[in-house]
């Protein structure tokens, strides 16, 4: 049996926006992809009849500069808990299998702010170069910062 390396990542941040405002933006993964990848993502689109209100729904996007195709699927959405779970449907870069969930929660002592956490379970190709894996994990760590910066107040 060929065992591929697996990793679990967890990132979190406090956002300068209330949970309803954040959720209104990030419940649509198309918007989240554009927030976290900015100009690095192109051709962000629903495929196979997918759309924000349908679960499961598939979507694709390409990452610059190499135009690497990322094919993913919304696997679950919980409006009450403000969470989305999504997964890969095909290998992307050196990632063989990927399941992630992000959640938006209230900050109990400050209703104008929210807490976002993002967990990922990743299986990489056994032939993946360590520096490539490290670069991808660094990119994922920076994605939570991109969300934080997107919702930062004007004084940030």
The CATH number covering residue 88 comes to 3.30.530.20
> Quick one: pLDDT at residue 93?
82
Half-sphere exposure of 137 (CA within 13 A, CB side): 16
**pLDDT tops 60 at residue 156:** no
Q: What's the domain count of the chain? A: 1
The answer to the question of residue 156 being in a domain is no
DSSP 68-89: EEEEEEEEEEETTTTEEEEEES
The answer to the question of residue 155 being in a domain is no
Q: What is the pLDDT of residues 63-81, one digit of tens each?
A: 888 888 999 999 999 999 9
> Quick one: pLDDT at residue 2?
59
What is the reported pTM?
Answer: 0.90
Q: What is the pLDDT of residues 121-153, one digit of tens each?
A: 999 988 888 898 899 999 999 999 999 999 996
Of 129, 62, 137, 75, the C-alpha closest to 101 is 75
The answer to the question of residue 1 being in a domain is no
The answer to the question of residue 55 being in a domain is yes
Q: Supply the range of the domain harboring residue 82.
A: 6-150
- Report the sign of the C-alpha dihedral through residues 152, 121, 49, 91, in that order: positive
The answer to the question of residue 118 being in a domain is yes
Mean per-residue pLDDT of the chain = 92
């Amino acid at each position: 049996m060929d065992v591929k390396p697996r990793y679990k990542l967890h990132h979190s941040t406090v956002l300068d926006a209330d949970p309803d405002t954040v959720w209104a933006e990030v419940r649509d993964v198309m918007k989240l992809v554009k927030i976290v990848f900015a100009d690095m993502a192109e051709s962000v689109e629903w495929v196979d009849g997918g759309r924000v209100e349908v679960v499961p729904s598939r979507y694709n996007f390409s990452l610059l500069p190499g135009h690497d195709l990322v094919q993913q699927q919304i696997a679950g959405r919980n409006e009450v808990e403000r969470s989305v779970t999504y997964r890969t449907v095909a290998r992307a870069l050196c990632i063989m299998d990927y399941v992630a969930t992000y959640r938006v929660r209230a900050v109990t002592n400050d209703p104008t702010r929210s807490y976002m956490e993002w967990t990922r379970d990743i299986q990489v190709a056994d032939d993946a170069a360590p520096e490539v894996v490290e670069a991808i994990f660094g990119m994922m760590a920076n994605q939570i910062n991109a969300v934080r910066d997107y919702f930062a107040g004007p004084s940030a």
